[in-house]
Structure 1
Amino acid sequence: MTDPRTALLARPSARGWRTAPAPELLDFHRSIPGYAPTRLVDLPSLARELGVARVWLKEESSRYGLPAFKMLGATHAVARALSARVGVTDRPLPFDELTERIEQSGVLELVAATDGNHGRAVAHCAALVGLPARVFVPQGVSEQAIEGIRSEGAEVTVLDRPYDDVVVHAAEQAAADGSLLVQDTSWDGYEQIPAWIVEGYASVLSEAVAQLHDAGADAPSLVTAPTGVGAFAEAVVRFVRSGGFARGLGSSDSPAPQVLTVEPEAAPCLLTSLRADRSVTVETGGTIMAGLNCGTVAASSWPVLRAGVDLSAMVSDDATAQAVRDLAALGVDSGPCGASSLAAVRLLAAQGQLPAEGNLLLISTEGRAANPLPADF
């Protein structure tokens, strides 16, 4: 059992960090077949439990028909990469136009490594433009998640290696002419596609702002960011630190929300790195939070997370499984990665670190169909 005193890191220095606004991509995402905004759910019973004014949850259980948010990043990155191949470098072309020009791009297949949801999103994008996809996954990814990737028409290879090594293997496989690697983690020399993925993820926050505005709600005082390699957490930090909530809700006098990242105890690469004040690779273990089971923070995300994360937490599988069940009882479809947000704010509440009049925005990044609880949970 992890000592609760080491499961949470507060970083007051992050409050003063600012960055420029990211591109607004909701119009692009609306242009893709199957677009619909995901639910923003008001959870008053959780607000009472946690001792805060309001708890909102953004439920990413059905995004373009897939049970996670990952399509927002994959669609933008694939569209930008293919658009660049046909000479359009300043914007993503619509997918119907890319389909017509796919031969001109010279791309013959999409390749990705994944611990679940990202690979399915890449496979779905490949199908949208009429390309095959090859996806590599580590051992420990649920059979249901693997079958989900295959259902998009992708070739799936399971490797008996940790996630970080599977990423290396996928990059090697994509070195051939005609292969396009679409990866949500970055390293020296591979930064552009991960950056486009991060930009795409910001549409989760843009939607949430519009929904809060329509509900007449105040800006959140804390936003959660389930964290694997750090791409989604980077998107949250950039949105918050560029004043995204203040712009959308007309609350320029309100302080920016705190950003709370959350990782499994089996793979706390960001928390470990923040404590060391340098990027650290950790050895990973088994966890029900398969999509967060990553040993290294993406190289391009690390400087942003180091500068802008207010609170970093790691949560146990038991606490997260309970959060899955509790959210289900409230009518919320959340898998373990998504429910980790609730487990993390409960950790804060237990340590007296939630503001009494605060408004919380929990981001649930996947539904149960993406990653069901194992039978022994």
Structure 2
Amino acid sequence: MLLANPNATRQPYPEALKNIMNIANAQESREWLSHWTGLNRGATPLYALPDLAAELGVGQLRVKDESRRSALGSFKALGAPIALVRLILRRFPEQRFDVPALLAGEYRHALADFTVISATDGNHGRALAAAAQSVGCRCVIVLHANVSVEREQAIAAYGAKIVRISGNYDESVEEAAAQAYRNGWRVVSDTSYEGYEDIPRDVMQGYGTIAAEIIEAHAEGFTHVFLQGGVGGLAAGIASYLWELQGEQRPTFVVVEPEQADCLYQSALAGRAAKASGSVDSVMAGLACGETSPLAWKFLQPGVDFFMTIEDSDAVRAMGRLAAGSARDIPLEAGESAVAGLAALQRLAEAPSLAAEIGLNANSRVLLISTEGATAPGVYAELVGESAESVRTRQQRWTPGA
């Protein structure tokens, strides 16, 4: 389903939003992240896929590949470390920690009794566990019933204590908050709730690195940007950066989420942060969220032009198309949640009236962000019919026109 947001605006980036998130703080976050050994050096690739663009009837199609961001395999490696660093600086102002030294673990003796906790669908928790291991504090991660064993093991590998619950993502968020209260721990979550906005803001601010790299690599800019839904953090982080930079000339933003985890779609209908209407369970595990982040909604309500829902089968089809590549399109390893934007584009290409409503045509320059690789390799192989390792091998051997 496609919904035009009645509250979207083309005005310059509002000062009220700039006071919460802005390019200056995003650039500071980016500079700090450059000192963390948990990230690969340099920007992630921005691939042009001309054959796929032709299939979809658009002029240009580029994909930002966040699977290459770090060994963590996802964009979440940008958010959790920044949130943890800023939390520690606020919590221990008297220590005057130097950020590069903090990320290098030089103050681990001072942080040995400091504990952070978070709920996760997988990627955020893994990034937080890795960052906590680097700085030397303790980390507890709450996982709900639908998080795969593969993802649990990947998080535990960074030394985090794992707590399993039988409920869904939103119930794991509640459990993390309850344990933090009982034990005097600090929640480092990527979703906000009443009285809890500073840390989710810092997480979203870290995602500005992606937008900065995109602008540096493609100065021409884009007419349309498709962004994953979830609680809204990634979409708010990217859209706010491009909105502040480009003002009234910003791209058309389309946010995409699973039809059964449609909290942002429902928020657009209600005109306020709302809950999903479905079961939430989705193959797109990173987007299987039932409640919109109220903080993210402050940016999405005025800044996103369209909200769209897709089916799980759409995501599986999109994963296969990126993995396959073509004569002019490099094969790409993209996980279940990474392909939401492409899945939406494929659906729109099959419905010309909806594509026209969004303004997609042969002159459109479209940006997609592939947010993760095969963070659950077994699930990936089952859905695509090929292992992620095989796709990466074909990618390494690929040459245009071959």
* Correspondence 1:10 to 2:4: yes
User: How far did 1:210 drift?
Assistant: 1.3
- Map of 1:1-377 to 2, 5 A cutoff? 7-11=1-5, 13-17=7-11, 18-19=13-14, 20=18, 21-22=22-23, 23=25, 24=27, 25-33=29-37, 34-36=39-41, 37-87=43-93, 93-96=99-102, 99-104=105-110, 108-176=114-182, 179-213=185-219, 218-243=220-245, 246=246, 255-282=249-276, 283-330=278-325, 331-349=331-349, 350=351, 351-353=354-356, 354-370=360-376, 372-373=379-380, 375=382
SS of residue in 2 equivalent to 1:295: coil
Aligned length: 359
Contact 1:67 1:370 in 2 (8 A): no
SS of residue in 2 equivalent to 1:99: coil
SS of residue in 2 equivalent to 1:220: coil
Contact 1:287 1:293 in 2 (8 A): yes
CA distance in 1, matches of 2:200, 2:163: 22
User: How far did 1:31 drift?
Assistant: 1.4
Contact 2:36 2:104 in 1 (8 A): no
SS of residue in 1 equivalent to 2:294: coil
User: How far did 1:347 drift?
Assistant: 2.5
User: How far did 1:106 drift?
Assistant: 7.6
SS of residue in 2 equivalent to 1:197: helix
CA distance in 1, matches of 2:341, 2:289: 17
One-letter amino acid matched to 2:286: G
Instruction: Summarize deviations over 1:81-139 as a string: whole Å, max 9, x none.
Output: 11122217999822546733345458522211001100100100111012231101111
CA distance in 1, matches of 2:154, 2:125: 9
Residue ranges of structure 2 left out of the alignment (5+ in a row): 326-330, 385-402
CA distance in 1, matches of 2:112, 2:123: 26
CA distance in 2, matches of 1:92, 1:196: 18
Contact 2:103 2:134 in 1 (8 A): no
CA distance in 1, matches of 2:95, 2:265: 36
CA distance in 2, matches of 1:168, 1:152: 23
SS of residue in 1 equivalent to 2:186: strand
Worse overlay, 13-22 or 64-73: 13-22
TM-score (normalised: structure 1): 0.89
User: How far did 1:62 drift?
Assistant: 2.9
Contact 1:338 1:363 in 2 (8 A): yes
One-letter amino acid matched to 2:375: A
Residue ranges of structure 1 left out of the alignment (5+ in a row): 1-6, 247-251
Q: In 2 relative to 1, CA 326–235 (structure 1 residues): closer, same or farther, beyond 3 Å?
A: same
Higher helix share: 2
User: How far did 1:236 drift?
Assistant: 1.8
